[in-house]
Amino acid sequence: MRNSGQVVGIGLVAAGLLLAVLIAIWLGVGLANDDLEAGGAVLGGIITFLFLVAPLVGIGTFLLVRGRSEARQHERATIQRRMIGRIEAAGEISIADLALESGLTRDQVRENLVDLVSMGLFSGYVDWERGRLYARQAAELRDMQNCQNCGSPLQLAGHGLVRCPYCGAEYFLP
């Protein structure tokens, strides 16, 4: 589905190209009928290109590119919403299952999880070794001192991320 920016962009590019063709035909007819001299045709072509065709095609191209970028961002947000919904509904899910359901690779699942954590939309932990993802309440995670997987002390690994240095389990905090 195209967004309005893409539709308007395509329309402006098409209008600019159509206008260029019509002006070229009009100038060609004027030259063929000796109603127009070559210098006037060239000058008219340059002026119409600079002030009519180029702005229409340029603005249309800009809107088309921006619309595609917005569509990609919307698609990523939709995937992330589905991921967080699936994780929260299941409570515990295989990373492979989540990747298959989302149509993503394991690395893309990880990138999306990091984005969700940075936005404060996900808290939980990941056992990368076993390939499991667990949704947990933020209060549960904040009070946790030891890894739920192996019992080792946890270490802060970054903003919103606590990692077990022994088994590699990662806990995401909001």
d(CA 89, CA 91): 6
Q: What is the pTM of this model?
A: 0.62
Q: The tokens 């698609």 sit on which residue? A: 75
127: Cβ contacts below 8 Å, ≥ 6 apart: 133, 134, 149, 167, 168, 169
- Between residues 122 and 111, which one has the greater pLDDT? 111
- Between residues 95 and 135, which one has the greater pLDDT? 95
Question: What are the structural domain ranges in the chain?
Answer: 4-74, 91-172
In terms of DSSP H, where are the helices of 33-142?
38-48, 54-90, 95-102, 106-118, 138-142
Supply angle C-alpha 12, 14, 19, rounded to 5: 95
- With a cut of 60, say whether residue 138 has pLDDT above it: no
Q: What percent of the chain has pLDDT over 90?
A: 36
- With a cut of 90, say whether residue 54 has pLDDT above it: yes
Beta bridge partners of 82: none
The model's pLDDT over 31-47, given as tens digits with 9 standing for 90+, comes to 999 888 999 999 999 99
Say if domain 91-172 classifies as CATH 1.10.10.10. Answer: yes
